[in-house]
């Protein structure tokens, strides 16, 4: 067992009925990916409602979500193109929530269209319950492209377009669920909008991606799922050992140009691993290898030793890296 499985609460049941059992204003953050009503088979006919029924149902679960969310809480909701404008209206006009960001999850592989443009994004709406809310930008910065003494080397805002691959069927972390999302997406939302020990709710937890992330980030996760087969799968998923989330924004592995001074470079590398690869232990080797490749003509023995201490690669003279 890895970390604090007991702080993750997994509930088998209907999202609306189960949220009714939660105390009012007890949740700091809601991050969720409800059925998009596109006829996916979740084993419970939840994804095939007539248009108006889907909107009424959306309002009913959002009513409970609003009740349990704290006044300074934040809500992130995944949605497909067909209903996203309706969802936006419900949040802003019916519920009086405050729009913050429309995030586009961009992926490079997906279904192909022969008449029309092949879809390559899903979207996430971020709204806050009031104007007073927390946003922890330092937790989610991405590395700069260039070293400049005037640049904030702590990193840049990742913007509202996020590129992550789908969890591929060949990946070890792929679960038997039709719409499993990459953990990297949840990592960013949860780090941006909660702090350790906060309560994070996903009322449509599916294969448990949200709980896997809250578990590793030391948040108290609550996940609700209607299909019992997925509950079994999540319990197993939460017992797996952790070597990093199953997906990473490629920018987190990027080595800035112009790190020409040895002392600056060594300090930067140490910080980069601590800031950007904290939850991606299994990416550290590749990052160090990229540093070695990029700066190989400037690196002396002391620095090779320093870099090798982070890496499974031995001293570069003994290996055929370059």
Ligand X SMILES: C[S@@+](CC[C@H](N)C(=O)[O-])C[C@H]1O[C@@H](n2cnc3c(N)ncnc32)[C@H](O)[C@@H]1O
Single residue of 224, 233, 259, 291 touching ligand X by CB under 6 A: 224
Element housing 202 (H / E):
strand 199-202
- Nearest approach in angstroms of CB 210 to ligand X is 7
- Pairing verdict, β 199-202 and 98-106: unpaired
Per CB under 6 A, does 46 bind ligand X?
Answer: yes
Q: Which is nearer to ligand X, 210 or 259 (CB)?
A: 210
Q: Is 230 in the site for ligand X (CB under 6 A)?
A: yes
In whole angstroms, what is the distance from residue 78 CA to residue 106 CA? 13
* Closer to ligand X by Cβ: residue 45 or 257: 45
Report if residue 204 touches ligand X, rule: CB under 6 A. yes
With contact defined as beta carbons under 8 Å apart, do 231 and 223 qualify?
no
The piece of 64-72, 90-98, 221-229, 262-270 that touches ligand X (CB under 6 A) is 221-229
Q: List the structure tokens of 215.
A: 């578990």
On the CB side of 143, CA atoms within 13 Å amount to 25
Residue 206 binding ligand X, by CB under 6 A: yes
- Contact stretch for ligand X (CB under 6 A) within 81-89, 95-103, 177-185, 313-321: 177-185
- For residues 111 and 118, the answer to whether their CB atoms sit within 8 Å is yes
Among 207, 220, 247, 279, binds ligand X (CB under 6 A): 207
Would you say 316 and 295 are in contact if contact means Cβ atoms under 8 Å apart?
no
From 8, 42, 65, 276, residue interacting with ligand X (rule: CB under 6 A): 42
Between 153 and 213, name the residue whose CB sits nearer to ligand X.
Answer: 213
Distance between CA 86 and CA 95 in Å, rounded? 12
User: How far apart are the C-alpha atoms of 211 and 208, rounded to whole Å?
Assistant: 5
Question: Is 177 one of the binding residues for ligand X (CB under 6 A)?
Answer: yes
Closest CA to 293 of 313, 276, 264, 273: 313
In whole angstroms, give the CA distance from residue 171 to residue 287. Answer: 21
Work out whether 35 is an interface residue with ligand X (CB under 6 A). Answer: yes
Please report whether residue 209 would count as binding ligand X according to CB under 6 A: yes
List CB contacts of 234: < 8 A, sequence separation 6 or more: 10, 205, 207, 208, 211, 223, 225
For 232, the token pair is: 């079994």
CB of 143 to ligand X, least distance (A): 26
- Which residue's CB is nearer to ligand X, number 20 or number 296? 20
Window 64 to 103, contacts with ligand X (CB under 6 A): none
Q: Scanning residues 3 to 32, which ones bind ligand X (CB under 6 A)?
A: 14-15
- In the complex, the smallest distance separating the C-beta of residue 185 from ligand X, rounded to whole angstroms, is 9
If one asks whether residue 181 binds ligand X (CB under 6 A), the answer comes out as yes
C-alpha closest to that of 155 among 180, 129, 136, 174: 136
Q: Which residues bind ligand X (CB under 6 A)?
A: 14-15, 33-35, 42, 44, 46, 177, 179-181, 204, 206-207, 209, 224-227, 230
């Amino acid at each position: 067992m890895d970390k604090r499985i007991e702080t993750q609460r997994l509930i088998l049941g209907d999202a609306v009925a189960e949220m009714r059992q939660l105390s009012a204003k007890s949740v700091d953050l809601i991050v969720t990916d409800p059925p998009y009503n596109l006829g996916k088979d979740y084993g419970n006919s939840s994804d095939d409602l007539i248009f108006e029924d889907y909107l009424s149902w959306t309002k009913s679960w959002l009513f409970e979500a609003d009740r349990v969310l704290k006044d300074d809480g934040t809500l992130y909701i995944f949605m497909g193109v067909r209903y996203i404008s309706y969802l936006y209206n419900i949040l802003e006009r019916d519920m009086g929530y405050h729009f913050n960001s429309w995030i586009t999850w961009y992926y490079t592989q997906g279904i192909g269209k022969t008449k029309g443009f092949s879809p390559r994004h899903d979207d996430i709406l971020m709204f806050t319950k009031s104007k007073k809310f927390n946003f922890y930008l330092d937790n989610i910065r991405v590395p700069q492209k260039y070293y400049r003494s005037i640049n904030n080397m702590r990193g840049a805002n990742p913007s509202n377009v996020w590129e992550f691959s789908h969890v591929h069927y060949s990946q070890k972390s792929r679960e038997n669920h039709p719409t499993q999302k990459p953990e990297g997406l949840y990592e960013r939302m949860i780090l941006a909008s909660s702090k350790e020990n906060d309560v994070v709710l996903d009322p449509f937890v599916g294969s448990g991606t949200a709980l896997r992330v809250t578990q590793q980030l030391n948040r108290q996760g609550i996940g609700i799922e209607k299909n019992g087969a997925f509950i079994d799968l999540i319990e197993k998923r939460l017992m797996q050992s952790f070597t990093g989330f199953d997906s990473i924004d490629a920018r987190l592995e990027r080595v800035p140009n112009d790190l020409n001074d040895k002392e600056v470079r060594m300090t930067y590398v140490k910080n980069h691993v601590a800031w950007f690869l904290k939850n991606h232990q299994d990416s550290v080797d590749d990052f160090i290898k990229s540093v070695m490749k990029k700066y190989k003509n400037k690196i002396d023995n002391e620095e090779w030793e320093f870099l090798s201490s982070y890496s499974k690669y031995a001293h570069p003279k003994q290996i055929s890296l370059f």
